[in-house]
Structure 1
Amino acid sequence: MDFLGFLLQRLVVIFIGIVVLFAVQNPHRRARARSQAVAEQTPVMTELAAKLGGSLSGPSEAAAWTPRLRRRSKKYEPELTLTFQRGPWHVRVTEACNPKPMASDALLRYEHWIEVATDPLPQRALRFDFFELSFEDGFVHTVCQGQIRADEIEFLVDMILETLDLMPGVEPGNPPGPQRGVTA
C-alpha cells in the first residue's frame, strides 16, 4: 500500500508539472503562431491591395468602421485591414484574431469582416444563401469565418456589391473621417 501511495504521489506531481508547463508555454506558442500568420498574410494582402488600388493597414492600425464590429474587437483583435474602392462603393475587409478561443483545440481562431459604406438605412439583417448582411449606422457588413483568402475575397465583395446594387434605396456612402491610405 505504501508503494502504491508513493507511486500515485509521483504521478500527481508529474501531471501537475506537465499542466503548469503547458500553461506557461501556451501564450508563447499563440504569440508565435499569431506573428507567423500576420507575416504570411501581409505580402499576399499587400499584393491584393495594390491590385485593387487600395491600402493595407497592419496590426497597430487595423480597425472596423462599424460600431458593432468595433465592439466585437474585444474578443477578436483586428490584425490586417484592406481598404479600397470598387466603383462608387467604399469597402473595408478586416482580418481579426481571437488569441484565446474557448472550448476549442485551435491555438488561434480567425474571422474576417467585410464592410461597405452606404447612405444611412434602418438597422436590419438580411439572410442570403451564403451570407448575412447587417445594415447599421450607414454601413452594411458581414462576418466570415477564417482568414481572408485573397483568391476568394474579390468574388465575395463583388457578390455583396451586386446585391446592394439590386436593392432599392441602397446607395453608396462615405466612410468616417479621411479614407486612410486609399488611393484613387
Structure 2
Amino acid sequence: MEEKKLRTGIFGGSFNPIHIGHLALGNYLCENGYVDELWFSVSPQNPFKQNQSLLDDSIRLRLVQEATKGYPKFYASDFEFNLPKPSYTVTTLNKLSETYPDREFYLIIGADNWAAFDRWKSPEAIISKFHVLVYPRLGYEIPDSLPQNVEAIDSPLIEVSSTFIRESISQGKDVRYFLHPAVYKIINNEGLYK
C-alpha cells in the first residue's frame, strides 16, 4: 500500500508583517482538514519592486518564525530565498515537489489572486500538478464552477491587511491585537515600521 503523502499547504507572501489574519486562516485550514500542515513561505524582496517599507528578508522570516512557534502544524519557510529572482509560484512549487517527494503541495491563495490567476506564469501547469485552495476576500466572488484541483474554502472572512498595520504603527497607534504577541513585541522593541 502506498504511503499517504503529507498534505502541505503553501501560503506565500511578503508577510510584512505577518498578522492574525494570516494565522487564523492557516489555523482554519489545518483544523478543518484541508491540509495536514501549513508552510508560510516568505517571499524575498523583488529586485524590480524596491518597496521602502518592506523589511529585510531575514527580519520578516524571524517574525514568521516567532508567530508560528508552538503550533506543530505551522512552519516558517525561507525556501524561496534560494531560488532565482524573481521567484514565480510555478517554479517554487516544482522545486518544492522535487525537494520533498513525500509531500503533496496545496497552493493557498485569496479570491483576489484567483481573479488574476490567468495572468500568472504557467497557470495551467500549476493547476495540472497541484491543488489550489481559494479563500474568500472582500469584494471578490469565487465562481461556483472551478477547474479540477481547485477548491473554494469556506473560511471566515478576516480582513486585516499588513498595509493597515504598517500605517497604524507609523502613526503611533497600538495594534497589538492584530498581531501575534511575539511579533508585536519585536516590532515594538525594535521600532520597526516607525
Normalising by the smaller structure, the TM-score range is under 0.3
Structure number, greater radius of gyration: 1
Q: Identify, as 1 or 2, the structure richer in strand.
A: 1
Question: TM-score of the superposition, structure 1-length normalised?
Answer: 0.25
Query: Higher relative contact order at CA 8 Å, sep ≥6: structure 1 or structure 2?
Result: 2
